[in-house]
Structures are given as C-alpha cells and as structure tokens.
Structure 1
Amino acid sequence: MATLIKLLTKFSMDQRAMQKETQTSKVVHIRNLPNTATENDIMQLTSKYGTVSKIILMKNKYQALVEYANLVDSQAFIIEMNMTNSMFLGSRIYVQYSKYQSLDSYTTKTTPAAPSFSEPEPSRVLLATIMNVKYVIDVNVISQVFSPFETNSRRTVEKVIVFRKPAGLHALVQFSNLASAAKAKNELEGKNIYTGCCTLHVTYSVEKELEITENSELARDFTNPSLPYKKTPSESFQIPSADSSAMGPRGRDNRPVLSSTAAAASSSSRMLMGMMLPDSSLILPHSVVLVSNVPAEKMSITEIFNLFSNYGIIKRVKVIHSDHSKVLVQFTSPDMARSAISNLHGCTLFGSTLSVVASKFDTIQTPIPKAGGGDGLTVDFQETKLNRYKFGSEFHTKGMNVRPTAVLHVSNLSSLTTEDKLKKHFEEKQPHPVRGIRMIEIPSASSASSSSTPSASEKVSTKKMALIEFESSSQASEVLCTVHNTSLDGMTLRVSFATNKL
C-alpha cells in the first residue's frame, strides 16, 4: 500500500510539472489526422474558432500545425476539441499547444510555404460557436443573448439557426444591420452564457442572408412569425450527458442565472438578460410559469389571463400574496408554458418589462375557501368558458407561437357592429389611438354554397371580424389585456395578436 501511495504521489507531481511546463501558444498541434486530410479540410475545421494565419500539414506524420491570429482563438479551439473528444473525417484527433509560438520559426525542407487565410468580410450575419456546453441551447437562448444589440423596431435579431457539427454547437445570427452585428461580435466574444460554461466565440459568417422555411426550437425567423411551426424532437437539443442537469444554474425562483460577464455586456437590454435567461431554453418538466415585474395597478388576474390565454389553455392564475408584482400561471401542458415564455418574456406593458420563466412549482394549489369566498388572489379557469381553446381538444399551434404585434385580430363581432362602434369601444377601454381598422366579412358555409339570394338567417350567420392597428406592439398588448372578453352589441369579443398586416 505504501509503495502504491508513493507511485501515485510521484505520478501526480510529474503531471503537475508537465502542466507547468506547458505554455499556451497561438500555434496548435493536431495529431492522428487521417491520411486523406487536406489543408482545406483543416482550414474548415479550425477557422470556426477564429482567424487562421498559417497551416502546415505533415501528411506523412498524420499531423498538422495551425497558427491563429491571437491566443484567444487557439484557446477556444483546444478547449472545444478536448471537451467534445472530436472526430474529424472519421478519425479521433488530439490537439495541444505547440512548442512554437509562431510558425515563422518553423522550417522544413519538405514542407512548402503555408497559405494564409483571412476572416470573412464584415457581415450582418454572425457565426457563434458555443464551447463547453453544459445546458440546453436553442434559438430562444441565442435570441436572448444577441437581441440586446439589435436596433430595429422589434428589438430582436431577425433570424437564428442553431446547428451541430462534429466540432461542436454553433449558431448563425442575422441582424438588421452591420453596426448591430459588429457591436454584438465585439461585446460577446469570449463571454459565457451561463457562469463557467457555454462560452461564446463570435466571428462574421460567410452567409449574407439566412433562409428559414419553418420555425422551430432550432430555427426561427423573427420577421415572419406566421411561418409554419415544427416541433423539434428532444434529442435534437444539446444536452451533454444523461447525468447532467439541463436546467442550468438556478436563482431563487428556479430561473437560470446568466453569467455576470455576459450580463455586463448587455446590461441595458430591455430583455433583462442581465438578470436572467428565460426557461424557454428548456424542455419544461411542468406547465407553471412565474411572471415577474407585473404592474399590479394596471394588470389584475383578468388582464393576465387575457394576455397569457393566447398561448394555451389556462387552468389557474395566482397572485403571490407577499408580492403582487409576481404571478403564477398554470397551463394544461408544458408546451403551452414553453410557448408563453418564448413569446412574452421581455415584452413591455404599461411601462414594465415582463420576466416570464419556469416556476419551481408544478401546480397551483387552490386555497381552502374561507367565509365570504376565496382569498381573491387565486382564480380557477377550468369551469369557465373564457379560455380561447377547449379543454381536451387539439388546436392549431400557429396561434401559440405569435409574438405580440402592433396589429390585433378581433373576432366574434356582431353584424350590427360598425367600424366607428368598434373604434370607440376600443379607445374607451384603453385610450390608445387606433391607427387603422379593416373590417372583414366571411360568409358561412351555407350562404357561400348557395347560388340564390341569402336569407336573413344566412346573413346573420356570416362571420364578421376585424384587424386593428396601433402604434406599437406594447400598446396593442395593453389593449388586448383590457378588451378581450368584453361585450359589444351583445357579443363577447375575442382579441388576439394578428399574423397579417392591416
């Protein structure tokens, strides 16, 4: 036993000595390359992590030396390769810092001069490489990280695509302009999304425009929310291992806490990413969300219900007794909760920016009734007809994935309702000026199929709807909160965010 301890001690000392002698370098040494590897193959592998200055391929030794423009890039490459045990062209490669600090000092009679490469030209599309991934990363997380640097009216990046390659996890992020992309690149380079992990390496992409045909957790066109939505299988997400938590570091309210360095890079963000990242990055285990920063004087349980019922069937809503600016909302499924988080986190209403995250509670308990009724802070919506969707029924997911827009869709209008009546009703409930109204009439199936003149009953059955536009999505959201489920000309109005323009 004593001999074994001595041997282990000596091995440990030798390891520490070797580590001490190992110096970082802009030059990395790659071993165990397949004999089919070319300089272009190595360029494609290494350039994702930064600007590559030189490559020397020693094909007969199955090795290569790669010099980066700076130390940060070489560190990023080595960390990612060692974390992922990366495969390259079917071969498990090994990487380490080279003893050379520059390839200018490397000479060989058999090796020709190495070619030089440069970083892609500045572009409004960025390529982000996420290294040391420990938690789930999807388009919602990437959007929350990069959107604070966007300057368009939506205050969100235009498009995001998340994809995996043998070298690791990557994301393409498209901004509306070059200046925003350049600022995001400079501010986020080397920052951690979560404390101690999910490190960002950001470069310009060779892509000039991202093409997205359907929205999902791995691809999102924020300029076109009406695209069909495809649910992505859970195995598509970047969960490092079965025994690691996908939930991320937890705050007091069970929310993932953003790295302080990344938060500092975007502390002015309206998305509140300096405080938390939303749990929309997660495959939620239950269906309760926590809503914080609620303007309690403007939004009661009714307004909360009207807003959140856009994204699914609501069971219960509960205002936190000790802090009325916090509200719990329980849906009937985790997918609905996820949709609410994805679309409402960071939205501004009545001067407050909402934070919508996964709650630590898996259900909202109904309080024991007291004399005179309940506590007034918890409302059960299961027995009402106020929900937009029916319990136990499937409904189109398109409506669940529409972010607040400046245009509202109003349905269930009476045939007696005119444009002037509708405008007056809306402005009385919430005094925001209406920018425009378009009335829509759709004949019922019976009247549409009839070639003769419609009867009075058929005219009454004609569906009447409207599109109403306001100055901003914030104003439209406030109107929706107060006007949905109100009565006009004997009909209960149904108000939702529109996918069409006026």
Structure 2
Amino acid sequence: MSSSGQTQFRYTQTPSKVVHLRNLPWECVEEELIDLCKRFGKIVNTKSNVGANRNQAFVEFADLNQAISMVSYYASSSEPAQIRGKTVYIQYSNRHEIVNNQSPGDVPGNVLLVTFEGVESHEVSIDVIHLVFSAFGFVHKIATFEKAAGFQALVQFTDVETASAARSALDGRSIPRYLLSAHVGSCSLRMSYSAHTDLNIKFQSHRSRDYTNPYLPVNQTAMDGSMQPALGADGKKVESQSNVLLGLIENMQYAVTVDVLHTVFSAYGTVQKIAIFEKNGSTQALIQYSDIPTAAMAKEALEGHCIYDGGYCKLRLSYSRHTDLNVKVHKICCFFEMCT
C-alpha cells in the first residue's frame, strides 16, 4: 500500500532534472550521493545537508531523461535506494536547477565561523576548541566572542581544504563530553565559512590565540572588551578594585532601566549613581557605591547573575577606573544621592 502510494506520489510530480533525496544518513557526504546517482547519467551539481534535520539533498543531472530514469527505476524496483544501509527516498524536486545562492558563509575559505550551541562562553575554553579542531590540521589562530547568535569563534587553518575537512566532519556534531565540565549537558557545533582569511590577533588571551607567533604579548582581558579579570601566575585575580562597577549586559531580551539596575544592585548596599550607555553594540552600565568593600560584595554576588529568568540580561562585572561618576539627571542615567 505504502509502496504503491509512494510510486503514485513520485509519478504525479512534474519531472525535473533535479532529484530530491530524503532520509539520508546524517554523515552522508557528496561522494556518496554521486555514487548512488552517477550510473543514471552525468551529474552537474549537488546540494547536501539541507532540511531541518540536515538529512536531505538535491542532485542535478545534465539531462531531464537521466533524472526520469533514476526516479522511474527506484519507483518500480523491489530494492530501495540505500546509502550506508539506510533507505533513501527519491522524488523529483520542485526546482529545475540547483542555484547556489552563496552567502558569505557558503563560500569556502580557510577560516571557519563556529557557533557553540547549548553553552555559555566560559563553559568551553579556547584550549578545548584548539584540541577539537587540531585533529584536522594545524590551527593558526582562534578568536572567540559573543554575539546575538551566542558564543562563537573564528578558527583559522592553513588552507581551504583543511577548513573544509573540519567543517564536513564537525558541523552538527557535539564536543565530546569528557572535554566539557560535568555540569554542561552538551555542546553542538554549527559552522559556516568566514569572509576573513587572516585573523588579526593582538594578544594571547583566554579569548584569542595566535599559534604562529609565540612572542605575541599575553593579555587575559584583550578580546572584545571581556569583563573577565586578568589572572596572575598563581591564578588569582590581579585587577584593581574600585567602588564603581562596570557591567556588561548580555542576552538583553528585555529592557534594562536605571530603576531595574537600582533594584538589583541596592540589595548589597546603597547605590549612589548609575549610568547606562551603549558601547561596541552592547549595553553597559556603571554602578557607583560609597566604598570598595560594598562594590566587591556586589560584584562577587552578581557576576554571571541573570536579571530575568531564562538566562536573559546576564551581568558580566568588572571594576571601573572611575571613582565618582559625573552623571546627568533625567537622561539614561540617574543620581540617587539627589533623592536621598
């Protein structure tokens, strides 16, 4: 019943020289698609890893009759099309050619843009990233950062071939559990090609590395305005303390006002002044206390704290160089001493 229904479904479609393949093995590569289809005619283009589950593909033949031959053969054959022992369903595509409208992420390059899904930035170290990608060749440079898409990294290889091999093998895969902290459930990788060809790494840090230049200066806070304090040789914080905290607000899905910040930070002592501003595309704030111990207590308690449930509006805190803010009332900042 299902076989005849499936046959009817195939034949009622308008023939196209582009064949649509479904239910492919997750690891299926272009060569396996070509091996399955090449006996029916000349293949001029392929597009794989498409669909929500990345288990579909398109194969374009040079001639319409070649596609018809393949679809007809498997529609009537008692032996289904298979790749790695898995049945593959074949039908005509609605498209009549494969148009590779390549976005910058589709144009092969030697630098990969990697998105780490399911983790926060501090849960995957740059050393783990280097270990995972070094399995495919020499990694020249790595730069990590946080964007709206989440925690991301740029990974630079020697050439396009090495980067392509890494992407083919790792895209959609998860970092092995033994490389992650016990509390991290999983970390899957999503990749595209970057338009960069040579990353500009100015410092060796926990956010960026240049493995080709061992003489590059070391700075633990160098990358993308990181709020993480520098670490000395003994692993202890070496940043200078202040009565003013600098906060970076991540994953800002809800509005964060002066009143909201005052409510959060005043739980640890009297807040004198607050200023909110935009810098480098992110929302930041300065929060002034009367003394350093109060600021230190607030920093320790609120670092990594999410103002809203669900991981929204996460606070990344460091000490500011300021000691007394010059704020203007009735703007995006507030002077609480005037109201007390």
Fold shared by both chains (TM-score > 0.5): no
Higher relative CO (CA 8 A, sep ≥ 6), structure 1 or 2?
Answer: 2
TM-score (norm 1): 0.28
Task: Give the structure with the higher percent strand.
Answer: 2
Larger Rg over CA atoms: 1
TM-score (norm 2): 0.39
